[in-house]
Structure 1
């Protein structure tokens, strides 16, 4: 960074970095369809939106506020279509009060993270707190203290390198369940109001934003390449270490895979369903974005699924409804990634998978 940055030069540098990052999409050998390239560049634009929210608009850890880093039109790392994600920028050197109302959402959890997507593609957990382990008032209200030193009542641990709060809310039925209301404030901020934006702050924010876009894209491109080699039309990623290092929920067992179908084919997934607090399945594109769940049936959970007579589950991934099982729409894609989650389960069944012809 320069000693006396010029705002125009800072902007030009940011734009040039984004242009270079675009080569990742151009050079991705697994992006073999036209839709892959179109979605790839849109993916980078979405990552840029998230990064600007994270590192420019909400960068001040003394005055944090929650924003959504993954939602229907901005997605990272096999985002859960059944989740409402809330993020806030923090510092391990501060104490924070998180407060709100529980609502009726079935699963609510709070985590503190060391966000290193821009450097090594990890998001280490520095503290976890689940609603099942929290104290609530009779009206459903709550308070949590987030700090390095243990606090009375609901406490979310922080570490020296904690930089982010992550709130996950998981729905079975969004139409009927009420999300929690959550706010956050620093308890020991040395200032009473945020400082006006400086060119130096802009330079720092845009530099971090570009690094986040590149680091995040590279991380999940590596995942796609790994799944193509090891999980072709399979869901057997039983080693959870990589997923947890990238910020995965410690209560979830992740079964990631890569699917690829020719016209007229379907991927049939048969599995036992363990005793668990939640499960779902989703189809993603090659960039690890969930497919368009606003307009297509690309995911399913226990609320909408139909089980077989013996209690097992059959999921069918195909371009059209095959007339059996629980159909998941490929939404105009011929290949992509996929994910089955078991949440709060002691057993983690690995599904049986096979490709069949449905046009015959």
Structure 2
């Protein structure tokens, strides 16, 4: 008779091969969805993208709505879904029948919001099927609307119904809500200190039971499904919809509040298509009143371009406003030697995203493509010149500031 130890010795490699076989075809399937030519650089970045998705999939497929905790959402490590470099996002998976306590300390970010909606997996499914209600935003709450102590401490109860006699801060948990997301939006990365946040479910025992083999198996098998869904969304869905939407180097303003954006926010978006010796000059009025604004670049994987080691984003704190009150930004692969440069990191194509939040108006920028050597002639004469040494100092300060922020 075979012992349990012998059973396990046979089961482990068999099941491991099964998990790996689920992942094996993903690269080929996703590569086939891309509408662009493939080269060695692109292939390397595709594999990097897939490994990052394994990390994201593991975090969220193994999350437990009975015993949730805030996990890294779209950030420097997981840059998919065009995250705003000024945002630090954390997600906890929840059950729409549960009672949850969210508590902590606000911190010093410019904006801190709690958003109820879909988890990362359901958002991917929703983008794949825009008519699906799964994953849509079910409320965004400014944390400043809660009762904050002098030190920024707060406590919020989240449940389908307000408990009888409960007089503290309470937010309704709507049906089909599968996640709560905390967004901290910073202007000054080094001086606006991150908050601290915790979540726990109150209607379950405090001690978490050991996960069953069936639950573990279900979660691990879900990773491949998540990656395939998100890859399809990225390469066949979102990027293709952008390509069909209009020509490159033209911007529009859109509302993404249903897809996880803030309700009082307009997205500026457009594709850039530039040769190595070309630049895009973005010119825009700046609203008289604006709680936040910023612009950043993404690649054609729908990932924000590395904002730690490149100046691929600017905001109302870091950008320079010209003497006539207008914002002018230069997008290019080569450094044009001006303060407001967005670095494409050598990419000839990608997307530009901007955000006007809580603003008196939501302007659509004017865009013009020029030769990189002609950039100075399209900017005001008093535009400062940034030397290579000054740029290096800016990048080093940027890298230090990013590492000071909470990222995981």
**Separation in structure 1 between the aligned mates of residue 45 and residue 171 of structure 2, nearest angstrom:** 37
Q: Contact 1:305–1:326 at 8 Å: present in 2 too?
A: yes
**Separation in structure 2 between the aligned mates of residue 237 and residue 30 of structure 1, nearest angstrom:** 23
Q: Deviations over 1:267-315 (max 9, x none)?
A: 1111111221101100111011111111110000011111111211001
Aligned Cα root-mean-square deviation (Å):
2.0
Report deviation, 1:33: 5.1
Do residues 197 (structure 1) and 207 (structure 2) align? no
Report deviation, 1:23: 2.2
Q: Which residue of 2 aligns with 1:158?
A: 173
Choose which of 19, 37, 47 in structure 2 pairs with 1:14: 19
What are the equivalent positions in structure 2 for 1:1-360 lying under 5 Å apart?
8-27=13-32, 28-30=34-36, 32=38, 34-56=40-62, 59-115=63-119, 116-121=122-127, 123-150=135-162, 152-189=167-204, 191-221=205-235, 222-234=237-249, 236-240=251-255, 243-274=256-287, 275-324=289-338, 326-359=340-373
- Shift in alpha-carbon separation, 1:277–1:92, aligned structure 2, 3 A: same
Report deviation, 1:220: 2.6
Which piece of structure 1 moves more, 158-167 or 174-183? 158-167
- Shift in alpha-carbon separation, 1:92–1:9, aligned structure 2, 3 A: farther
Aligned pair count reads 350
Q: Deviations over 1:63-113 (max 9, x none)?
A: 111110222121221011111111111111111111111111111000111
**Separation in structure 1 between the aligned mates of residue 60 and residue 20 of structure 2, nearest angstrom:** 17
Q: Contact 1:118–1:208 at 8 Å: present in 2 too?
A: no
Report deviation, 1:214: 1.8
Q: Contact 1:231–1:237 at 8 Å: present in 2 too?
A: no
Q: For structure 2, which runs of at least 5 residues remain unmatched after alignment?
A: 1-10, 128-133, 375-408
3-state secondary structure, aligned to 1:209: helix
**Separation in structure 2 between the aligned mates of residue 192 and residue 350 of structure 1, nearest angstrom:** 51
3-state secondary structure, aligned to 2:126: coil
3-state secondary structure, aligned to 2:90: strand
- Give the structure-1-normalised TM-score: 0.91
Which piece of structure 1 moves more, 243-252 or 85-94? 243-252
Q: Deviations over 1:204-255 (max 9, x none)?
A: 1123222222222222322212222324434534342xx3343222232112
- Give the structure-2-normalised TM-score: 0.80
Q: Which has the higher helix share?
A: 2
Q: Contact 2:30–2:232 at 8 Å: present in 1 too?
A: no
3-state secondary structure, aligned to 2:97: coil
Q: Which has the larger radius of gyration?
A: 2
